[in-house]
């Protein structure tokens, strides 16, 4: 007997759906979050004059996503208008021990974290007696524990509330389809609660597609992807050594295996923004023998958010668009213009890799690499798209 064909389950991700996602900078008070935010906003990724609305308000900013493919396309087409992809970043107020029960800025702070889709967690590993540490001394593992506890305690509270509400609904019992679904949901909420009570983070759990559908509307804090930013002194960043580093890596490996860990010297990044020109910045980095960590932290955030890009090209405009990996052509078209999703007819597609290899669109065409795709086409990272859509119905 031939093997049964595996039914391919459509993958869905933890978190909010959509292509316009936000990340927030989270950490204990006074660890360098706002300094990082300002450094990102001021550096060449942050606030170039031809990119409107880069700084949305003092706490929210759009930052350019560095991408060699975009640079290559701009060079090739020399377009009148260039629009890179961006990532929206929030500077969030500092967290304190006990925030989950209202200490410090307490719940206001936690609601800001709830509003973002992913977390840059700044961990202070630099020693500087002048910069007060809210817990008295520099101990990054303790700080990691505090943040992890606070977020988890808040999630437990939410999940308990959700369970209580669910129990009110399932109490009347019965065999209806609706009741069956409610009971499945309740079992899932119980499973989430158990994981949290055992000290786990929701993003590290093993969930079925159905469970993820139940979990997403809970907007849990520990379900959000995290990129750990290890804030070192400039000296330690340059020599790639720090006395806390071993323990920090160990903690993250044990509690958040697989999450990206990026060393950074926020102090250095801030200092670099004070140079007048990009060339001076490059010269300084060359002298120090290091690279800025900012481009890497942005690209790694895109990765944990499962974001990819497609391009639209031409001499009028080269533009890089952001989509979730796995997005189909009509939804990708909808990112360009809301109406295109409904009126989508087809997409003319070839990949950047082909264009780069063959050098020219006509060559790509001659080699048969330009494809016409319909509404089931899953857009691949690096696709160059031309969308054909009908007229919008009034
Ligand atoms: N030595 C040193 N000082 C730093 C570094 N990063 C930030 N600071 C200093 O630490 C102080 C606090 O920095 P902020 O960026 O405001 O810290 P924050 O995390 O935003 O603090 P809250 O918003 O209060 O939670 C400032 O005086 C910064 O200059 C660093 O990498 N090294
Ligand atoms: Mg701050």
Residue 390 neighbours by CB under 8 Å, 6+ apart: 343, 345
- Please give the distance, rounded to the nearest whole angstrom, from the Cα atom of residue 115 to the centre of ligand 1: 23
Ligand 1, atom 11: nearest CA belongs to which residue?
A: 30
Structure token pair of residue 268 = 């250095």
Is 299 one of the annotated binding-site residues? Answer: no
Residue 61 neighbours by CB under 8 Å, 6+ apart: 37, 40, 41, 46, 47, 54, 55, 88, 89
Based on the fold, state whether residues 247 and 111 are members of the same structural domain.
yes
Per-residue pLDDT at 124:
94
Instruction: Supply φ then ψ for residue 28, to 5 degrees.
Output: -65, 165
CATH number at residue 313: 3.10.20.30
Q: How many domains does the chain have?
A: 2
Based on the fold, state whether residues 275 and 343 are members of the same structural domain.
no
Has residue 338 been placed in a domain?
yes
61 contacts 89 by C-beta, under 8 angstroms: yes
Based on the fold, state whether residues 193 and 279 are members of the same structural domain.
yes
Question: Which residue has tokens 């109490």?
Answer: 171
Ligand 1, atom 27: nearest CA belongs to which residue?
A: 131
- Please give the distance, rounded to the nearest whole angstrom, from the Cα atom of residue 35 to the centre of ligand 1: 6
Ligand 1, atom 9: nearest CA belongs to which residue?
A: 32
Based on the fold, state whether residues 125 and 243 are members of the same structural domain.
yes
Has residue 86 been placed in a domain?
yes
Based on the fold, state whether residues 180 and 268 are members of the same structural domain.
yes
Euclidean distance between CA atoms 140 and 230, whole angstroms:
9
Give the nearest ligand 1 atom to 126 CA: 32
Based on the fold, state whether residues 274 and 371 are members of the same structural domain.
no
Based on the fold, state whether residues 234 and 360 are members of the same structural domain.
no
Q: How many CA atoms lie within 13 A of 274 on its CB side?
A: 6
Per-residue pLDDT at 269:
95
354 contacts 394 by C-beta, under 8 angstroms: no
Instruction: Supply φ then ψ for residue 162, to 5 degrees.
Output: -60, -40
CATH number at residue 76: 3.40.50.300
Is 285 one of the annotated binding-site residues? Answer: no
Q: How many CB atoms lie within 10 A of CB 327?
A: 24
Asked whether the whole model's pTM tops 0.85, one would answer: yes
Euclidean distance between CA atoms 219 and 159, whole angstroms:
10
- Please give the distance, rounded to the nearest whole angstrom, from the Cα atom of residue 361 to the centre of ligand 1: 49
Based on the fold, state whether residues 213 and 86 are members of the same structural domain.
yes
Confirm or reject: Cβ of 31 under 6 Å from ligand 1.
Answer: yes
Has residue 10 been placed in a domain?
no
Is 30 one of the annotated binding-site residues? Answer: yes
Based on the fold, state whether residues 323 and 217 are members of the same structural domain.
no
Q: What long-range pairs does 213-218 form, CB within 8 A, spacing at least 24?
A: 213/12, 214/184, 214/185, 214/188, 214/189, 215/14, 215/188, 216/14, 216/15, 216/16, 216/17, 218/158, 218/159, 218/162, 218/189, 218/192
Mutate to test the pocket of ligand 1, among 131, 132, 134, 231 (most ligand atoms within 8 A of CB): 131
Confirm or reject: Cβ of 121 under 6 Å from ligand 1.
Answer: no
Has residue 263 been placed in a domain?
yes
Give the nearest ligand 1 atom to 266 CA: 31
- Point out the domain boundary residue: 304, 334, 350: 304
Structure token pair of residue 30 = 């006074």
Is 138 one of the annotated binding-site residues? Answer: no
Residues of the chain below pLDDT 50: 48-50, 52, 394
Has residue 13 been placed in a domain?
no
321 contacts 311 by C-beta, under 8 angstroms: yes
Question: Which residue has tokens 């509330």?
Answer: 161
Range of the domain at 239: 22-304
Per-residue pLDDT at 5:
53
Based on the fold, state whether residues 273 and 134 are members of the same structural domain.
yes
Has residue 12 been placed in a domain?
no
Structure token pair of residue 151 = 């977020």
Euclidean distance between CA atoms 99 and 110, whole angstroms:
8
Structure token pair of residue 20 = 């316009």
Has residue 8 been placed in a domain?
no
Based on the fold, state whether residues 72 and 127 are members of the same structural domain.
yes
Has residue 15 been placed in a domain?
no
- Point out the domain boundary residue: 304, 331, 366: 304
Ligand 1, atom 13: nearest CA belongs to which residue?
A: 32
- Point out the domain boundary residue: 304, 332, 366: 304
Q: What long-range pairs does 135-138 form, CB within 8 A, spacing at least 24?
A: 135/28, 135/97, 138/244
Confirm or reject: Cβ of 94 under 6 Å from ligand 1.
Answer: yes
Based on the fold, state whether residues 206 and 354 are members of the same structural domain.
no
Q: Nearest Cα to 75, choosing from 281, 299, 315, 296?
A: 315
């Amino acid at each position: 007997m031939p093997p049964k064909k595996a039914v391919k389950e459509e993958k869905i991700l933890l978190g909010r759906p959509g292509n316009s996602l936000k990340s927030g900078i989270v950490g204990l008070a006074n660890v360098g979050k706002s300094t990082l935010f300002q450094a990102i906003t001021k550096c060449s990724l942050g606030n170039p004059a031809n990119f409107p609305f880069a700084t949305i308000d003092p706490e929210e900013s759009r930052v350019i996503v560095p991408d060699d493919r975009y640079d290559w396309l701009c060079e090739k087409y020399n377009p009148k208008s260039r629009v890179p992809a961006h990532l929206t970043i929030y500077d969030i107020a500092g967290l304190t021990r006990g925030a989950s029960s209202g200490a410090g800025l307490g719940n206001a702070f936690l609601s800001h974290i709830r509003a973002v889709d992913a977390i840059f967690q700044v961990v202070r590993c630099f020693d500087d007696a002048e910069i007060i540490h809210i817990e008295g001394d520099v101990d990054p593992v303790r700080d990691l524990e505090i943040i992890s506890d606070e977020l988890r305690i808040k999630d437990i509270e939410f999940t308990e509330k959700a369970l209580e509400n669910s129990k009110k609904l399932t109490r009347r019992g019965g065999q209806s389809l609706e009741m069956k679904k409610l009971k499945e949901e309740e079992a899932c909420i119980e499973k989430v609660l158990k994981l949290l009570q055992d000290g786990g983070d929701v993003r590290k759990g093993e969930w079925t597609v159905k469970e993820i559908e139940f979990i997403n509307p809970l907007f849990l804090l520990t379900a959000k992807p995290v990129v750990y930013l290890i804030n070192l002194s400039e000296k330690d960043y340059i020599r790639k050594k720090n006395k806390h580093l071993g323990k920090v890596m160990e903690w993250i490996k044990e509690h958040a295996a697989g999450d990206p860990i990026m060393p950074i010297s926020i102090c250095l990044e801030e200092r670099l923004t004070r140079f007048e020109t990009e060339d001076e910045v490059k010269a300084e980095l060359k002298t120090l023998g290091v690279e800025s960590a900012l481009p890497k932290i942005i690209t790694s955030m895109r990765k944990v958010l499962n974001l990819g890009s497609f391009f639209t090209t031409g001499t009028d405009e080269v533009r890089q668009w952001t989509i979730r990996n796995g997005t189909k052509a009509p939804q990708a078209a909808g990112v360009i213009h809301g109406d295109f999703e409904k009126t989508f007819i087809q997409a003319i597609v070839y990949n950047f890799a082909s264009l780069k290899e063959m050098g020219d669109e006509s060559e790509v065409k001659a080699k048969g690499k330009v494809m016409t795709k319909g509404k089931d086409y899953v857009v691949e990272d690096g696709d160059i798209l031309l969308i054909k859509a009908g007229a919008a119905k009034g």
